[in-house]
Every structure is written in C-alpha cells, then in structure tokens.
C-alpha cells in the first residue's frame, strides 16, 4: 500500500478494472526474480519435455541414429552452424524476403481492406473472394508463379504477398465493421473527413482486429516463404530453405533437424514481437495492466 | 489455481511421453520372413541406360525368376542417387542400383552402418555436353550447366572437373559457372529451349542431347580416368537387410549376374528390352539409335571398379560436399565372389577398401 500514496488521483481512477486487482505488493529484486522464474519455467519445462521425449524415441531405436539423430547431435550441428557468418547471411536473406513480402502484403491488404469496407458494391463483389483466397494453400500458386516470373525472387514474393494480403485485408475489414457508429458520428461532429477520419479515428479504432489480421498474415507469409524457398531455388541465393534442401540432398539428418529448429525459432521470435505489439495495444485500450 | 496448472502440465507431459513410447514400439515393420529369406525385395533403380542390367532384369523377369516364388520383387525408380539414399535410410527400399557418390555419402552420413556395396554394374557413360560455341573450360564462365541432383555422381564429377580447371561454382548455382540440379528429362527440354548451356548427365541423356539437340561433347568422363574405367553404377543393399536376409541377397546377386551376362551376351535384345522398360516407366520410347549410341559408351561388369571409388570420394571432399571419410568396409563382396567362383568366373576385389 505504501507505493500507492505517491500516486496522483487521476492515476487512481484510471479504469475501474483496478477495483478487481489485488493490492500491489512491494517491489524489489526478489519479486523481480520470482516473476522472471514464473515466466520462464513453463518454457523450460516444455523444452525439457520435448527434448526428453525425443531422446526417449532415439533410445528406443525406433529408427537408426542417422535417420533420427539424438538431440545432442542436432545441438552440435546448431553450435557448428549458427556462429558462422554465412549462416547469418542466409538468415538476413530469408528475413529480408519475409519483410519485403510482408510489407508489400500489408500495403496491398490495407488498400484492398479500406476499399472493400468503404464501397458497398466492391464488398459484394470481392468480399467473399478475399475469404476464399485466405483459405487457399499458397503452395498451389507456385507452379503458376514460376511460369509467370521464372525461377526468381519475384516468384517467391508473388506467392508470399498472395498468401498474406487476404488475411490482412480481412482483419482490417472486420475491424472497420466493428467501429461503433457513435464514434464515427463523433468524428464527423469534430469535423473529420476522408483521409483524416481514417487516420485519426477508424484505423485506430480498428487496430485490435487489424493487429490480429497482421499476425495471421505473417503466419501465412512465413509459410508461403518456406514453401517457396524449398520449391523455387534461386541460383546463388543461399536462403534458409535452400540450406534445408541441401541437407536433404546430402542425406544429412542432423542438418535437416537443425534447420527445422531454426525455422521454429524465427517463428517464435516474430511471435514475441507481435505479442508485444498486441500487449502494448491492450494496455492503451485499458484492457490490461 | 496453480495446482490445477501443475496437473495440466503433468497430463500433457504424460501424453507426450506415451505417444513417444507408442511410436517407438510401432517400428520394426520390415517385411518379415524366415531363415534369412525376406518376403519381398524392394529394389530401386533409375530409368537411365547406365542402369541397363536393372532395366533388363526387371523387364525380362530375370530377377523374378532368380528370386523364386517366395520372394516378391517390388521395383521402384528414382531420378538420382540422393533420393534413393533417402529411401534406403527411411527403410522404403532394401537394395538399389546407384552411383558411387551418393553411396559414399550414405556410408559417411550413417558412419558406415546403413549400406554395403555388393556388386558393380556399370562403368562409363557420362560426361559434359555443351551447346555450340563453347570449346574450352574458360568458355563456361557465366554459363548454366545442369546435373541430375546436388551431390549425385555427375554433380560431384562436374564440380571436381570445374575446380581442376580453375572455375568455381557454389552449391546454390552461383559462382563462375552456375550449376543447376535438374531432373534429367527436364534437362533435355530446357536445353532444347535454350535455358541451359550444357549438362553433365548419364546415358541415355548424354547421347540424347548429342543426337537430338545438337550438343557436343566437351568432356567424356572416360578420358579423366586411368584405363577409361570408372564406376558409374553399382548395387548396394541396406546393411540390416544383408544381415537379416543373406539368402535373399544371394538370389538378388544371382539375378544381377544373370542380367549383366544377358546384357553383354545379347546387346540387341537387351537394348530392345531396356527400351520397352523405359517406355513402361515414362510412357515414351527412346529412339533405338540413341540407345545404341549410349550402349557404346558403357561397359557392364559386376566388377565394382573399387579403385575409382576412393577417387570419387576425394572429389566430393575437394568440392566441399563430403567430410573426410574412411571407406574401408563399404564393400561386401564375399557373396558375389562365392557366386562367381561357383560359376567359374574371375573373382572381383575391393582392393585397398577391403574390410
């Protein structure tokens, strides 16, 4: 309670949800360490369980070790590969492709989303088409993309954008649909028109749904990219997907699993970024502490 | 609340472990048989003329006859060696005709536990063909050359040859020369369409590119080896299969020896049979003239030309596709020699690689 005394009245009444909260405890390194432990142990346990189960399957000799290597072998491979400069070049290349594709998809998805949300005939025409596109496995586009753009960066980019843009557009459309009409009226009263209305009212109001659309869009973009890097091997471009394929060609099981783990790690890191954005947003909306 | 969470975690952990244990018990579903005899023999080979003993052996029922009524033959085809090794590793096939480099790689990756070479099959029959205007290694700068698959025998041969000629090529198609691993049938169409400048391929694609699409020979691999003898194809088996079913492997060797003899004794009939089998696999017959031309570049022999294997491994190491590996013990030629002795034929030797 001692900590509360220094807080101003405005802070104390901000959000009635505070009534639901327990009394704030004293801070300090002990609490901080306990908090860190609390956040970490489930993850550590999850890793221990997965690695343990993996090791058990290996010990049971279900498959020979050169097909299913033990975790230690894969870990050695990771230790060997990750510190090399060429590995980080590959990560940079793959993440560069992901960022370009996702960026383009965001731009295109936003334009389409706003257009569809705003113009009724357009919604009738392509609203369900967008949902249809969203459910389409992006890998089916690759043969056509290769025909259009040959074996090139553009072919990969094309499919990544096609995979991600519909989710982003859909997220924005449903976000806009759920903006309370009273807010729009308030905006009009305050003199907001056209671009200003979108910039200051509708987009911020649609943010929660938009962010989850972005998150889903990212997942689709990342999947399409990995499929693309395995299928469309651009000469000279040593991406993560190409490294995976090379491990396959050289019958290198530890290498294969090492790259699977790396792809998983990239997914987790990006998810952390999105979660942070989501958390910041919820905090702004007063939905969390 | 937290005890509930513990319980949830415990349940999940138990589930994961149980699933792991179950799958662990579900293995060992290999074709069962009694007394060293397998119920089925799953044999891999490629639709290439370098695998002619396999093509003819399957087409004319030579394997089926030697394996007898108790062992069913299940043939499977692959485009190139790394795919076949993948299948062998995963237990999808028991034996396969294959080139030296994938076999070496499979041996290295499994630390000598996955496979054994039990007989030779073919020597010669591969090389680099290019389009007009390329007359020397230096002319290859900036050109696109196809190979069957990264790390396969012809791929390693091309990389090693480029290196000795002072040209570099990386594993992703970059460098002085762009190496593009391509399925052999696509290589022919791409070359015809002008998307490729050349290819290091096995027969019959070597002869097809020359006879049908105006390619010319820049390197005949024969010229790179002492005596013109180098292993292009040999027969390998899964080590486990050899251990469990030696009788079936003996029968496979009977079939293999008979097929090689047939191919050598009656080349005209063998060519017709090989072509008929290619047609049944691809739905398309090759021009008999191409098969005849390809035949001239090949020697069919059960001798595995062991001397060239070590050199092939050295090539793969030189181009960074293989870590140094000890090949001692990769050959298991006892069964073959037993058969050859019984037939009154000269025995073959693993040379320095004998176990």
Interchain CB contact of B317 with A (< 8 Å): no
Question: How far, CA to CA in Å, does A50 sit from each of A6, A56, A65, B247?
Answer: 47, 10, 18, 42
Q: How confident is the model at residue B185 (pLDDT cuts 50, 70, 90)?
A: confident
A251 CB neighbours in chain B (<8 A) are 82, 85-86, 89, 102, 105-106, 109
Q: Where are the domains of chain B?
A: 40-124+229-353, 126-227
- What per-residue confidence (pLDDT) applies to A127? 78
Residue B124 dihedral angles phi and psi, to the nearest 5°: 85, -175
B24 CB neighbours in chain A (<8 A) are 56-57, 60-62
Is the separation of the CB atoms in B115 and B88 below 8 Å?
yes
Interchain CB contact of B12 with A (< 8 Å): yes
Round to whole Å and give the CA distance between A161 and A107. 10
Round to whole Å and give the CA distance between B242 and B24. 23
pLDDT at B28 > cutoff 50: no
Interchain CB contact of A103 with B (< 8 Å): no
Does the beta-carbon distance from A62 to B110 stay under 8 Å?
no
Q: Where are the domains of chain A?
A: 2-62, 77-284
User: How many pairs of residues across A and B have Cβ atoms under 8 Å apart?
Assistant: 96
Top-level class of domain A77-284: mainly alpha
> For residue range B218-269, what is the model confidence (pLDDT) as tens digits?
999 988 888 888 899 999 999 999 999 999 999 999 999 999 999 999 999 9
Does the beta-carbon distance from A49 to B12 stay under 8 Å?
yes
- What per-residue confidence (pLDDT) applies to B30? 44
Query: In B128-161, which positions are buried (b, 16+ CB within 10 angstroms) versus exposed (e)?
Result: bbbbeebeebeebeebbbbbbbbbbbbbbbbbbb
Interchain CB contact of A63 with B (< 8 Å): yes
> For residue range B127-148, what is the model confidence (pLDDT) as tens digits?
999 999 899 999 999 999 999 9
Smallest Cα–Cα separation from B38: which of B297, B265, B323, B238?
B238
- Laid out side by side, the sheet with B178-181 consists of B178-181, B144-147, B198-202, B126-130, B216-220
- What per-residue confidence (pLDDT) applies to B140? 92
Distance (Å) from the C-alpha of residue A53 to the closest C-alpha of chain B? Answer: 6
- What per-residue confidence (pLDDT) applies to B6? 64
Does the beta-carbon distance from B24 to A60 stay under 8 Å?
yes
**Average pLDDT of the residues of chain A:** 85
B85 CB neighbours in chain A (<8 A) are 251
Round to whole Å and give the CA distance between B155 and B79. 13
Round to whole Å and give the CA distance between A23 and A32. 17
Question: How far, CA to CA in Å, does B166 sit from each of A107, A202, B230, B344?
Answer: 47, 63, 23, 48
Interchain CB contact of B304 with A (< 8 Å): no
Residue B35 dihedral angles phi and psi, to the nearest 5°: 60, 50
Top-level class of domain B40-124+229-353: alpha beta
* SS3 of residue A15 by DSSP: coil
Terminal CA-CA length for chain A = 17
- What per-residue confidence (pLDDT) applies to A14? 56
Q: How many residues does chain B have?
A: 355
Q: Which of A92-101, A135-144, B291-300 has the lowest mean pLDDT?
A: A135-144
A42 CB neighbours in chain B (<8 A) are 9
Bond before B114 cis per omega within 30 degrees = no
Q: How confident is the model at residue B13 (pLDDT cuts 50, 70, 90)?
A: low
Residue B77 dihedral angles phi and psi, to the nearest 5°: -115, 155
Q: How confident is the model at residue B330 (pLDDT cuts 50, 70, 90)?
A: very high
The DSSP code sequence of B70-93 is TSEEEEEE-SSHHHHHHHHHTTS-
* CATH number of this structure's domain B126-227: 3.40.190.10
For A58, name the nearest residue in chain B, comparing CA atoms only: B24
Q: How confident is the model at residue B26 (pLDDT cuts 50, 70, 90)?
A: very low
Half-sphere exposure of residue A234, counting CA atoms within 13 Å on the CB side? 20
User: B242 or A23: whose pLDDT is higher?
Assistant: B242
Distance (Å) from the C-alpha of residue A1 to the closest C-alpha of chain B? Answer: 25
Q: Residue A278, exposed/middle/buried by CB under 10 A (0-12, 13-18, 19+)?
A: middle
Strands B144-147 and B298-300: unpaired
* SS3 of residue B217 by DSSP: strand
pLDDT at A109 > cutoff 90: yes
Residue B135 is encoded by which pair of tokens? 């007359």
Give the pLDDT mean for A84-103. 93
Q: How confident is the model at residue B1 (pLDDT cuts 50, 70, 90)?
A: very low
Query: Most B CBs within 10 Å: which of A70, A152, A240, A250, as the mutation test of the B interface?
Result: A250
Interchain CB contact of B22 with A (< 8 Å): no
Half-sphere exposure of residue B186, counting CA atoms within 13 Å on the CB side? 11
Domains B40-124+229-353 and B126-227 share a fold: yes
Q: How many residues does chain A have?
A: 289
Interchain CB contact of A256 with B (< 8 Å): no
Q: Which of A23-27, A112-116, B64-68, B241-245 has the lowest mean pLDDT?
A: A23-27
Which of B5-9, B280-284, B338-342 holds the top average pLDDT?
B338-342
Half-sphere exposure of residue B213, counting CA atoms within 13 Å on the CB side? 23
Residues 6 or more apart in contact with residue B318 via CB below 8 angstroms: B160, B163
Does the beta-carbon distance from B82 to A250 stay under 8 Å?
yes
């Amino acid at each position: 309670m001692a900590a509360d005394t220094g807080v101003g009245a405005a802070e104390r009444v901000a959000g009635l949800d505070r009534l639901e909260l327990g009394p704030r405890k004293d801070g300090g390194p002990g609490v901080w360490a306990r908090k860190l432990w609390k956040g970490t142990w489930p993850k550590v346990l999850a890793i221990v369980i997965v690695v343990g189960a993996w090791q058990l399957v290996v010990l049971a000799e279900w498959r020979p070790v050169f097909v299913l290597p033990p975790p230690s072998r894969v870990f050695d491979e990771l230790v060997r590969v990750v510190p090399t400069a060429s590995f980080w070049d590959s990560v940079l290349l793959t993440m560069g492709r992901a960022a370009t594709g996702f960026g383009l998809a965001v731009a295109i998805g936003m334009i389409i989303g706003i257009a569809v949300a705003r113009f009724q005939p357009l919604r009738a025409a392509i609203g369900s088409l967008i949902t249809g596109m969203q459910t389409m496995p992006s890998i089916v586009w690759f043969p056509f993309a290769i025909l259009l753009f040959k074996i090139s960066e553009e072919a990969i980019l094309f499919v990544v954008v096609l995979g991600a843009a519909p989710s982003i557009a859909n997220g924005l459309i449903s976000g806009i649909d759920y903006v309370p009409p009273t807010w729009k009226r308030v905006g009009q009263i305050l003199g907001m028109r056209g671009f200003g209305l979108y910039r200051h009212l509708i987009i911020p109001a649609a943010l929660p749904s938009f962010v989850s659309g972005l998150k889903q869009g990212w997942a689709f973009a990342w999947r399409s990219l990995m499929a693309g890097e395995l299928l469309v091997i651009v000469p000279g471009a040593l991406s993560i997907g190409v490294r995976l394929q090379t491990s396959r060609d050289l019958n290198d099981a530890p290498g294969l699993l090492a790259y699977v783990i790396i792809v998983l790690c990239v997914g987790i890191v990006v998810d952390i970024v999105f979660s942070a954005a989501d958390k910041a947003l919820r905090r702004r909306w007063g939905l969390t502490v | 609340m937290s005890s509930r969470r513990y319980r949830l975690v415990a349940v999940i952990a138990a589930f994961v472990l149980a699933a792991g244990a179950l799958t662990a018990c579900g293995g060992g579903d290999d074709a069962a048989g009694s007394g060293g005899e397998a119920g089925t023999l799953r044999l891999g080979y490629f639709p290439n003329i370098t695998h002619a003993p396999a093509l003819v052996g399957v087409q004319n029922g030579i394997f089926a006859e030697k394996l007898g009524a108790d062992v069913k033959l299940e043939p499977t085809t692959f485009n190139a060696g790394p795919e076949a090794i993948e299948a062998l590793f995963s237990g999808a096939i028991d034996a396969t005709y294959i080139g030296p480099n994938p076999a070496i790689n499979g041996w290295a990756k499994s630390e000598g536990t996955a496979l054994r070479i039990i007989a030779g099959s073919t020597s010669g029959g591969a090389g680099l063909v290019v389009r007009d205007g390329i007359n020397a290694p230096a002319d290859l700068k900036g050109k696109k050359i196809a190979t069957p698959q990264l790390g396969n025998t012809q791929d390693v041969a091309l990389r090693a040859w480029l290196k000795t000629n002072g040209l570099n090529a990386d594993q992703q198609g970059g460098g002085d020369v762009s190496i593009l691993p391509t399925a052999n049938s696509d290589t022919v169409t791409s070359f015809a369409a002008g998307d490729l400048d050349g290819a290091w391929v096995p027969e019959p694609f070597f002869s097809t590119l020359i006879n049908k699409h105006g390619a010319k020979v820049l390197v005949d691999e024969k010229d790179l080896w002492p005596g013109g003898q180098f292993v292009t194809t040999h027969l390998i088996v899964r080590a486990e299969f050899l251990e469990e079913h030696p009788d079936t492997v003996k029968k496979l060797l009977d079939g293999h020896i008979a097929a090689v003899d047939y191919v050598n004794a009656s080349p005209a009939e063998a060519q017709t049979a090989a072509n008929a089998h290619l047609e049944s696999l691809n739905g398309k017959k090759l021009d008999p003239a191409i098969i005849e031309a390809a035949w001239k570049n090949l020697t069919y022999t059960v001798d595995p030309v062991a001397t060239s294997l070590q050199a092939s491994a050295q090539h793969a190491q030189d181009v960074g596709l293989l870590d140094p590996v000890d090949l001692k013990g990769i050959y298991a030629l006892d069964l073959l020699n037993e058969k050859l002795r019984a037939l009154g034929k000269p025995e073959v030797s693993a040379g320095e690689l004998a176990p």
